[in-house]
Structure 1
């Protein structure tokens, strides 16, 4: 699962699955057939590049885990922001 901010910056959502449909990137939500367009690009090649960027983001870790100077542990989820272009 990943948190994504939509291309128009109006939605922040937890997404279970991401697909490319021609020039659109589509988010599909867990446990339902509900889906939403989260990005639209000039062509399918660019949409696939964005999907590749999402994959790299997931591979680098979707959570930050650190201990601050007061010895308090923080476990924070990172957010992927869909590129405008």
Structure 2
């Protein structure tokens, strides 16, 4: 059976790493596949700590990941994507 989980990109590492990432990782229908922070070192540290496969410092990097359904956890990122 194909993987039916929703790939989630967490935009921001403050509240994201305290609340969003742990909650999304325990849900059976979601997989955290990327984390964003404007400082790549910070994104990489969070990705390593939570075993997230991709760290990014731009939203464009996340969008270029292999095709999946994505849910961004920050409204401003979704708004930005709709405007481009």
Q: TM-score, normalised by structure 1?
A: 0.23
Q: TM-score, normalised by structure 2?
A: 0.24
Tell me which protein shows more strand as a share of its residues.
1
Structure with more contact order per residue of length (Cα contacts < 8 Å, sep ≥ 6):
2
Over alpha carbons, which structure has the higher Rg?
1
